[in-house]
Structure 1
Amino acid sequence: MEENHQTISEFEIKLAQFNDLPNDVELLKDMHEDLLRMQVAVSKQQIQVDQMNDDAENCRRLVQSSRETLPHSSLPRAGKHIDLERLDKEVSQLNNRWNGVCTQLAERLRSCEAAYQLLRNYNAGLEKEAEWIDDTYNKLQAQPPIEVRPKEQFEPTRNLLTSVVERTPKIEKVNVDGGRFIREAKIHSSRCQRYSEWLCEEVHPSLDMRQLKRQADVQQAERMRRHGMNVDPERVPVGAESVARELDELNAKYQRLLDMLYERLRRIAAANPGDIVTLVSDVFFKYRRLISYKGLFCM
């Protein structure tokens, strides 16, 4: 029992040192591999836990059987086996903690695997759409000033605005993928925090939540250093927050591009009153605000 208690404690503390999911695919892969190695160790330890339960059951059976042959006056008060009840309680507590380790490990592996695929999809879309926005900005900047033959600039500007408006679903797809990663990462972090709080309050009162958080940050900073990312352990970025910032930046650039084209077309129309108003209104009708990850996931 003592060996199992020590091993389970080591697993619990190690799990408590896994915290926020990173927003880097390679770092996420490293975290997943660490969890897989832990899963192998847990599988091996399961043999010892099963043996402990068998030994406890045999102990109770043998002790009860041997006490049945003793005189009534020699039996524990009221016929209760207080020592066996204490043993049962200790074994039950260890089993509950062990089941908690197994459940936490399975949930974190699932969360890592789900987040990994979501992050890959998000990164691919983000890179592509960010590049497209930059290219479109360059096209807009290459347009001649409105003062130079404004009527001739209407068609190129309208086409550019139309292409940007029609790009909205792809930008929103990036928001969907990023929003799903953010949601998965937040659920993961919440579960990790609840588990750590339970450990500190119910199992290991001597543990300090702040110390566990520092250890988790140091561990994450070390992973980042192995991949050439130097970061202060006191300022380890949180994956969900980093993705949210990236999406905010992407959405702001996209909306600014729309606004600039909208304003340019409006000024062209103003320079040609009564001439191309109908055509301009057709484009304006298609123009709408982007639905960001915040609107999609109510964050």
Structure 2
Amino acid sequence: MSLLGEQRRELIVEQVRERGAVRVSELAEHLSVSEMTVRRDLDVLARRRLVDKVHGGATAVGELGSERLGEPAGHGTDEPEFAAKADRERREKEAIAAEAARLVEPGAAIGLSAGSTTWRLASLLARVPRLTVVTNSLVVADALYSGGAEARGSTVILTGGVRTPSEALVGPVAVGSLRSVNLEIVFLGVHGMSAAAGYSTPNLTERDTDRALVDAGQSLVVVADHTKWGGVGISTIAELGEADVLVTDDGLPEDGRAVLESEVGRVILARPGT
């Protein structure tokens, strides 16, 4: 016998309070309902402030717990806020950033897209002297400034534009400014990557800005942890083969590694903790 809506929602709240964070998929299986039904229940509970709805599930109220869900990259237009994804796969992103930073020589002109991996990369690049860095990310720019980039003779250029939940600046102003620059290397963070959809984003407007950034660079380096494999955002930024280098981590599934190594010029597998 199926549960009534209120009974189901009471069980969801109980699960969230006991575990701190739960996935939509787990709740759907536990309650024998569709994931769409669970998402609607979470909407109701979030409005009542009984849970916090986050990317992939729900957490106890007041906890920044989306990273605890361990969700892989999502689909469609589901765009988590920057704070909700900043600590997901932290060790992997730190290792990826360290490998990517080795590709940058002092005095280079580079571009950094918005994203939690490019944010970690920015902290390392702040130590490289005499860079010119163009970015459409508020947090990336802040990481460069706070890391002492200006003291090392670097110049940080922020595109301007309309702010998104991922702390990106997008829209005509951002696109227009990117069309006026020429960069040696562009580092691109992505929401998902797949054989069918390439590198993608859940934000249509952000796609246009990311594409303008890609077009401004002589070389494209995609930085994406292994959970991004199989993720498909609503809009494709670039095809897999457009990347000259992909920096990911050794958690990448074998099938993903085979596809990417056949499409991308160079695949670097970072090893967290080494």
TM-score by length of 1: 0.20
In proportion to residue count, which structure has more helix? Answer: 1
* Larger strand fraction of residues: 2
Of structures 1 and 2, the one with the larger relative CO (CA 8 A, separation 6+) is 1
TM value normalised by structure 2:
0.22
